[in-house]
């Protein structure tokens, strides 16, 4: 479910740690890779072991690059334009180069990442994928073992901690800066019509018709339980297979025109407090509850203030990282062996 991250007054969702620096490893299965012009693999190695770049002599492998490209498309399997694919590939390559530069620097600082933090990040990545087993399937497709992917997660967390402590540091945005941004950007301070939604999701385990039938039977039993008096939030915590189950199914605000069409259509016909019938998607089956609704209109300053502060903080952080990376690149030896063109 896509949230209303772009509307003023609602803080943008924090991206997955992998997405921050390792070329945006966000959530999901994507288009088939179309790869030509890759560096040839060395004798005895697979094409995935061929480098797409070298940073101070350290190779970035084809399989890691292709996996990162696939994960960029957030569940879209088709209708990706060639120009978009080329742009994503170029962006991913630069992101992996940036991440490698920062990791090499961070390694000298010896930042430790507890196993529990790695486990939590892996759980977030799995929960963000459309269906159970998607991550394992993707890793298998690109010849990456679970242990290797865990090591990549650890590397990225090392980089994130290094950036937080040594590069971005403490960032303070004044109240005056927040007010000035609000006053100077009135077009951004308009909220589209939106509904706050909680959901219960039962995922389909596998592609068979019988698996889908089992999932439907389960969601219908949950709906019957709710109509019999069980609180929706309690049912979500008990039964939902979505990442938001622990929050009683709350997925936040969904804006008109900004969500998955099937879910959005079902959500916007609900009044506050109403519960939908069963909604079927590729992922599985959903029950939705509208917990609040807001009409389109201007966002008051008090409501927008913290979202603006977060936006300005993120912008300053990005500027600091970009400036630091420019310095690292000036001193580094970087070979780009992948053009970005499919």
- Give me the pLDDT at residue 69, please: 85
pLDDT band per the 50, 70, 90 thresholds, residue 256: confident
- List CB contacts of 341: < 8 A, sequence separation 6 or more: 36, 37, 86, 89
The strand pairing partners of 320, in sequence order, are none
As a whole number, the mean pLDDT across the chain is 82
- Higher-pLDDT residue of 58, 14: 58
Cα separation values, 79 from 30, 36, 83, 168, 196, Å:
11, 20, 12, 38, 30
Whether the per-residue pLDDT at 155 is higher than 90: the answer is: no
Domains, in order of start, for the chain? 17-171+310-336 (1.10.4030.10), 193-295 (3.10.50.40)
pLDDT band per the 50, 70, 90 thresholds, residue 132: low
- List CB contacts of 6: < 8 A, sequence separation 6 or more: 12, 255, 258
First CA to last CA across the chain, in angstroms?
29
Whether the per-residue pLDDT at 264 is higher than 60: the answer is: yes
- Give me the pLDDT at residue 34, please: 28
Whether the per-residue pLDDT at 3 is higher than 90: the answer is: no
What is the pTM assigned to this prediction? Answer: 0.61
| Axis crossing angle, helix 115-128 with helix 146-162, rounded to the nearest 10 | 110
pLDDT in tens, 169-188: 889 999 999 999 999 999 99
Whether the per-residue pLDDT at 88 is higher than 90: the answer is: no
Mean local confidence (pLDDT), 30-44: 35
**CB-count burial class (<10 Å; 0-12, 13-18, 19+) for 318:** exposed
- List CB contacts of 3: < 8 A, sequence separation 6 or more: 10, 13, 251, 252, 253, 254, 258
% of the chain at pLDDT higher than 90: 53
């Amino acid at each position: 479910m896509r949230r209303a991250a772009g509307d003023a007054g609602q803080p943008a969702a924090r991206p997955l740690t992998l997405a921050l620096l390792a070329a945006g490893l966000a959530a999901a299965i994507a288009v088939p890779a179309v790869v030509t012009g890759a560096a040839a693999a060395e004798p005895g190695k697979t094409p995935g072991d061929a480098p797409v770049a070298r940073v101070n002599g350290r190779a970035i492998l084809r399989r890691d690059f292709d996996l990162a490209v696939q994960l960029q498309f957030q569940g879209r399997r088709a209708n990706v334009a060639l120009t978009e694919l080329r742009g994503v590939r170029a962006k991913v390559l630069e992101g992996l180069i940036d991440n490698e530069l920062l990791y090499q620097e961070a390694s000298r600082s010896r930042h430790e990442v507890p196993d529990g933090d790695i486990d939590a990040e892996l759980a977030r990545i799995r929960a963000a994928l459309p269906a159970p087993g998607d991550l394992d399937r993707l890793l298998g497709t690109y010849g990456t073992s679970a242990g290797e992917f865990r090591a990549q997660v650890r590397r990225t967390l090392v980089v994130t901690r290094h950036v937080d402590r040594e590069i971005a540091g403490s960032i303070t945005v004044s109240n005056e800066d927040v007010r000035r941004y609000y006053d100077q950007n009135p077009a951004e301070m308009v909220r589209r019509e939106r509904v706050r939604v909680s959901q219960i999701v039962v995922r389909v385990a596998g592609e068979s018709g019988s698996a889908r039938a089992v999932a439907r039977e389960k969601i219908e039993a949950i709906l019957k339980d709710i109509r019999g008096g069980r609180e929706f939030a309690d049912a979500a915590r008990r039964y939902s297979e979505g990442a938001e189950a622990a929050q009683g199914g709350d997925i936040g605000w969904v804006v008109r025109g900004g969500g998955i069409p099937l879910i959005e259509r079902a959500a916007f016909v609900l009044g506050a407090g109403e519960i939908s019938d069963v909604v079927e998607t590729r992922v599985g089956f959903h029950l939705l509850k509208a917990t609040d609704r807001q009409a389109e209109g201007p966002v008051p300053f008090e409501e927008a203030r913290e979202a603006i502060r977060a936006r300005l903080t993120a912008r300053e952080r990005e500027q600091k990282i970009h400036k630091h990376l420019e310095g690292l690149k000036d001193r580094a030896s970087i070979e780009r062996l992948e053009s970005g063109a499919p």
